[in-house]
Chain A
Amino acid sequence: MAQRDIDRVIIGCKKGDEACFTQLVDIYGRRCFGYFYRLTSNRDLSDELLSELFVKLVEKIGTYRGGSFDGWIFTMASNIFHDHLRFKQRQTRLLDEHGKRIKSQSSGVASGYDGDADKLQMALGELDSDVRELVMMRFYSQMSFKEIAESRREPIGTILSKVHRGLKRLRELMG
């Protein structure tokens, strides 16, 4: 879809047009799902995060003030993923505190790979979580290193170095 058409859809979304939001799901839904899946290795969890992302998008679309929409939406996706990680950490602490009883009740919480993990997914699992997220953000959002650095409030050299290290290691692992 041409950038001009995407811009038209975004303007419609800002006016609260349901059809435009539906189009936005068609444009970004699969890419954002891929991003979540590569980070979580879990389809069900990726479904949940995707749904959360678009509901949040409805709330926040008014705050989009131009610039790279891909960067904007993937920054939001990254924040949702980090919220999920924090939730998981809290849950882990609770499990430590309350032991097996709660653990058995929480067995539905996603962790590790689901059945259809591919070779790349396994290799990604070997990377440091921060590096893995940067590599995925760069790949799925198509953001420049400068945009990623601004979004993460980190020096561009640090971002470049992490992505380079991650992709080099990935090549080794994929042999």
Chain B
Amino acid sequence: MDEAAARQTAEDIEKGEEILGAYSAPQPDERVLAEVKKNIVAALRRRRTVVFQRRILGAAVAAAIVVVSVLTMIRYGNPLNSHQTRMVAASIPSRVWEGADDADVTILTAEIENIQSELSGAQSEDTGGNGSNDVGDLETELIEINGDMWKG
């Protein structure tokens, strides 16, 4: 494109855009803008709820892995190796990350933490005869809770 053609193009564009400026588009109703703002607030709240649920579920699943790890250590004397930990994590259904109710998750987390502390207590005792029964009871309880968790 030579200089004259470039100048002509720039002039055409400028004049064309002047026409666009002279005819302004209709404005949206204030009611519409208010509705848009309301939708934004709703979308923000939805997003916050999802983030909160994911954090809680993440904590619950991490606690479950710790419990399984402690349980394995008590029974077999060795903690889970990294491969076994990955197996436990992979066995958690994806819907657990998405579908659970906040209240359920809170209760579940509290139960897992409770068992975790009981297990730690049982492990630290130099069992006076019924230590292995305690561990057995806790194991049964853990299995039941895990079952509830998968059922939702």
Binding site for B on A (CB under 8 A): 16, 18, 21-22, 25-26, 29-30, 33-35, 37-38, 43, 46-47, 50-51, 54-55, 57-59, 116, 118-120, 135, 138-139, 160, 163-164, 166-168, 170-171, 174
Contact = CB atoms under 8 A, between A and B. Distances in A.
B23 A120 contact: yes
A18 B24 CA distance: 30
B40 interface: yes
Question: Is the interface on chain B under 10, 10 to 19, 20 to 34, or 35 or more residues?
Answer: 20 to 34
28 contacts: A18-B40, A18-B44, A21-B37, A21-B40, A22-B40, A25-B36, A26-B33, A30-B27, A34-B27, A37-B25, A47-B28, A47-B32, A50-B32, A51-B39, A55-B39, A55-B40, A55-B43, A58-B43, A119-B23, A120-B20, A135-B20, A138-B17, A164-B12, A167-B19, A168-B16, A170-B16, A171-B12, A171-B15
A51 B36 contact: yes
A47 B26 CA distance: 12
Contacts of A35: 25
Contacts of A34: 24-27
A116 B26 contact: yes
A51 B9 CA distance: 36
B148 to A, nearest CB: 33
A118 B28 contact: no
Given A25-B36, A167-B12, A43 B26 contact: yes
Nearest to B45: A18
B26 A37 contact: yes
Contact of B28 (A50, A164, A167): A50
Contacts of B12: 164, 167-168, 171
Interface in B1-43: 9, 12-13, 15-17, 19-21, 23-29, 32-33, 35-37, 39-41, 43
B55 interface: no
A43 B27 CA distance: 9
Contacts of B19: 120, 167, 170-171, 174
Contacts of B13: 163-164, 167
Nearest to A62: B47
A55 B27 CA distance: 20
Nearest to A119: B23
Nearest to B47: A58
Contacts of B35: 47, 51
B48 interface: yes
